[in-house]
Chains A and B, each alone.
Chain A
């Protein structure tokens, strides 16, 4: 039995320690073994040491354990309070615990039980309806002792609950029911008596202090049950338990059951069969309490807070503002870090790229010089070609204009100068004919010819006049009619290529 994941239940009390090993099977829970060590423990630390001794004796190297604590200042209480959240209920419960048990600074826990809505259906509200609260508490020292019970952490403590809540779980596991029921568990330290009404734990009575130290006799126990039944009847409007679930030593069961049935008149049946002692029954009650998935367990063990618990604390009250501010700062920090990282990365990459480019530039320098020389050569050739074409265009246009001059048209001057778009030209000359009509016709013929020359544009006849010095006798004889004219024109820098399809 040295499996790493063994499961146990235990009862820790002044009068002894009981350890039960169990196994979870498909059909339920099976008790595998029981060990107990009787004897008085001066403190809970001593009792837990004895429990550790039992575990070591059974070669337990790892597993989990559910504890039921009896005595050592551990107390329990059942309250009825309106429904509210834990933050509201906690101070109320604290004051009640301080008042009832006289503990100044109690460590306590509470869980919710059944709801008792006594208002009319119209006013009923499940959120505020009165609910049972099961309260368990202990001194800080006891809780601290529990926390340090297993320092090696090889045994995980599932729960540390109180005996009445373990009995509650046992009752529920036995089927519960609405029948008023008393549960009697006779431990070495005294009888624990609980009363259930409509399935709810209404009353839990600890053993009288006077009985501690001696195992009470059946008659004392019956007296205790009788007093409890009376109190139960008084507190709950005449309710009477009609059955009693009994857990006691085997050798006492028959006698005690008969005495109870005879004195009180209730049906007695065993509480939890399969174990050999009432201590083991309570230990299994702790196991059932830990494994109850329908309700929160009443757990005094100071479990380290889970991540969800820590998150819940951070998201409550003023912590929420702090959390939000810290979260904003952290996010801003990450963002700033990412920006800086990106900046530094880009700078580093740029520096590397620049070095590579510089190296490449040095490597291609001879190539660049060759390429520039090639480009210069090409440009030089193109420039020479362009200059030649430009001059050829100009001279061809001027030659054509000169050739187009008909008989009777003479040039006095020709001026051609470079303009932004090409060449600007101006021809001053004279035309003569036998008649004015012939002179004008000659001029018109020439002007039209100039205008029609390829590359010549914006030709205009700017001056058209008769000379004041009388008819020209130089070219046309004494009877000729002369005209002076000025034609201006533009010549394109280079001849436009002939358009496709031009006739």
Chain B
């Protein structure tokens, strides 16, 4: 038989101490459940945090275990020569232009003219990601205009330094001969632009 409010009232009047005890117990129940639920809710993210910290610790531990120190003097060997540099400081861009002109002339191209130009509209080259000095594509490009043979141009492209990326080759032939335009993107160390 369902209990009505009147029944509850009668019960509480008849068994006052019992009713007070029940009230206190129910209040404690609600309070404990509330506190428990709050703790349980906080527990989930704390556990997730613990797992992630534990994974970090585990990775660090694995890293320490797997790491093999370099032999003495190996540091000196672990560097590529300057000709393999894959970025050019903005301050050295004129040197880069000179280097490109020199390389073009060495492969037999004539009337070589090297200019700085806005970045080419074609797709930007992929630049490498490094832990040390981040590398990005410079906000300028290099345009190499020249004349000569197509084979010489291809040879020039083959010998481009790693710090530039080929963006475009345009070859036009007219009655005066063949003219070429080679557009290059430049990789520079990130953060060097403001100093340029």
Interface residues of A (CB under 8 A from B): 318-319, 321-322, 325-326, 328-329, 332-333, 335-336, 338-340, 342-343, 346-347, 349-350, 353-354, 356-357, 360-361, 363-364, 367-368, 370-377, 379-381, 383-384, 387-388, 391-392, 394-395, 398-399, 402, 410-420
Contact = CB atoms under 8 A, between A and B. Distances in A.
Interface stretch (B88-96, B98-106, B108-116, B126-134): B126-134
B13 interface: no
B26 A329 contact: yes
A373 B18 CA distance: 76
A387 to B, nearest CB: 5
A336 B33 contact: yes
Interface string B1-29: 00000000001000100100110011011
B96 to A, nearest CB: 15
Interface of B: 11, 15, 18, 21-22, 25-26, 28-29, 32-33, 35-36, 39-40, 42-43, 46-47, 49-50, 53-54, 56-57, 60-61, 63-64, 67, 69-70, 75, 78-80, 84, 86, 120, 122-125, 128-132, 150-151, 154-155, 157-158, 160, 162, 165-173
- Main secondary structure on B side of the interface with A: helix
B125 to A, nearest CB: 7
Given A379-B129, A413-B171, A326 B157 contact: no
Nearest to A349: B50
Contact of A336 (B36, B70, B132, B154): B36
A392 B130 contact: no
Given A322-B25, A363-B64, A419-B123, A391 B158 contact: yes
Given A360-B57, A383-B162, A332 B26 contact: no
A315 to B, nearest CB: 14
A381 B35 contact: no
A381 B172 contact: no
A350 B43 CA distance: 12
Given A354-B53, A387-B165, 12 more contacts: A322-B18, A322-B22, A349-B50, A353-B54, A367-B63, A370-B69, A371-B67, A373-B131, A376-B130, A395-B157, A402-B151, A413-B173
A233 to B, nearest CB: 51
Contacts of A350: 46, 49-50, 53
A340 B64 contact: no
A325 B25 contact: yes
